[in-house]
Structure 1
Amino acid sequence: MDEIVKAAMLKWPNVPNCYGWLALDARGDWYLRDAPTQAAGPFPQIKGSLIEHEKFKAFIHRNYLADERGAWFFQNGPQRVYLQLELAPLVLGVRRLSDSEPDPHGNGFEVQAHTGQDVGAVQSCWLDEHGRLYLLTEAGLGVVRSMDMATAADAVAEGVWGEPQEIAFAEMPARFGFVREPAPV
């Protein structure tokens, strides 16, 4: 978390949390959802405004966390902005490493979150009824980006992450401890 964010939290400790104004889609893109957008319909049917400003996205990435309920938020200064998740808290990119690159996990593949974070070792892989591939990593559960599915399929075929286990999409939040649409408690 940024030092400026920590300082703001100390200066203004009682700022109310914000819900419904930020969302993460299946590609790892962030969307702002103002009041008219929220009134127009649920996420992801009505997405909102794509956040394209690179420095703002980097700020969100550095301050993206989960609370004790498994509800993910962006700590924006003193305010927690809880977000809606289209699929999972992390969106994962998968890349085959070249022979000359360091291979910290010894399997020939790199898995990285949409935040740029190395997610550590993959502990298991899961397939939902829609054919989407999820990886349970040291950093949490993430869905593999559609653009990286060919590379991920190679890793699955090579047995890098074990045999994919089937799971219904609706069961994932409870199974892996995250909240897709947080609400005030």
Structure 2
Amino acid sequence: MTTPDLSTDVRWPDVPAVHGWLSLDRRGGWRLKGEPVTHAGLNGFLNTNYRSDSDGNWFVQNGPQRVFVTLDYTPLVLRLDVDSSLTAHTGATTAPAIAAYLDEDGNVLLQVSQGVGLLDDRDLPAFVEQCQADDGGPASDAAFTEVMGGGSGVGSGVIWHGLPLQSIRHAEVAARFAFQPRPEP
């Protein structure tokens, strides 16, 4: 019996990519054909193998196969930890935020070196508490409303950890941050 030569370039079989089966919801939960993924092992696998390509498509690498992810909003969902650090839905600690945005619906988006992430809505009260006005006092409801309405952003009077809260439109997020919310075959 001859032993195969494994020193040569071993190629993956030609496996088609999968579209429309896997999605990421607004709280960082995985969904398979619309149903929540509850199995801890599968969640761990999805989190570990989640990445993007140069075209801004996000996918899970499953051996030779790419399972493209439909995004409910952004490719990352971020949690605000007690010490104000950020953790991605995958469980990875992220770099500190480099920009903060508020859309017309009151969603907070934070840009980190890994990309843009939607702040989990369960962390909005803590985020708002940490925001300040330009003078160091608490940020007013009127200032948040101005940013949501498309106010100038920088100089809006709302600051979070030294970052001015900037206005952004939901419809502009994917193009601005170069990701595909619904990868096409």
TM-score, L = length of structure 1: 0.77
Alignment identity in percent? 37
Select 1:89's aligned residue among 67, 71, 75.
Answer: 75
Tell me how far apart the structure 1 counterparts of residues 12 and 162 of structure 2 sit (CA, whole Å).
Answer: 45
Q: 2:167 is matched with which residue?
A: 166
Code of the aligned partner of 1:52: T
Provide Cα deviations, 1:92-117, integer angstroms capped at 9, x if missing partner.
Answer: 000232xxxxxxxxxxx110000001
* Secondary structure, aligned partner of 2:104: coil
Query: Hey, which of these two has a bigger chunk of helix by percent?
Result: 1
Code of the aligned partner of 2:164: E
Do the aligned residues in 2 keep the contact of 1:156 with 1:163 (CA within 8 Å)?
Answer: no
Do the aligned residues in 2 keep the contact of 1:125 with 1:165 (CA within 8 Å)?
Answer: yes
Q: 1:68 is matched with which residue?
A: 54
- Size of the aligned set, in residue pairs, is 150
Tell me how far apart the structure 2 counterparts of residues 84 and 161 of structure 1 sit (CA, whole Å).
Answer: 33
Do the aligned residues in 2 keep the contact of 1:24 with 1:85 (CA within 8 Å)?
Answer: yes
How do residues 1-185 of structure 1 correspond to structure 2 at under 5 angstroms? 11-33=11-33, 48-97=34-83, 109-157=84-132, 159-184=160-185
> Mind listing any 5+ residue stretches in structure 1 that lack a counterpart?
1-9, 34-47, 98-108
* Secondary structure, aligned partner of 2:164: coil
Give the C-alpha shift of residue 13 in structure 1: 4.3
Do the aligned residues in 1 keep the contact of 2:103 with 2:169 (CA within 8 Å)?
Answer: yes
> Mind listing any 5+ residue stretches in structure 2 that lack a counterpart?
1-9, 133-158
TM-score, L = length of structure 2: 0.77
Give the C-alpha shift of residue 12 in structure 1: 2.0
Provide Cα deviations, 1:99-148, integer angstroms capped at 9, x if missing partner.
Answer: xxxxxxxxxx1100000011102000011111000000011100000111
Tell me how far apart the structure 1 counterparts of residues 98 and 21 of structure 2 sit (CA, whole Å).
Answer: 32
Do the aligned residues in 1 keep the contact of 2:78 with 2:120 (CA within 8 Å)?
Answer: yes
Larger Rg: 2
Give the C-alpha shift of residue 161 in structure 1: 4.6
Give the C-alpha shift of residue 14 in structure 1: 2.1
Tell me how far apart the structure 2 counterparts of residues 127 and 182 of structure 1 sit (CA, whole Å).
Answer: 25
Provide Cα deviations, 1:29-85, integer angstroms capped at 9, x if missing partner.
Answer: 11111xxxxxxxxxxxxxx11100011101111100001111100001110000100
Code of the aligned partner of 1:58: G
Q: CA RMSD in A?
A: 1.3
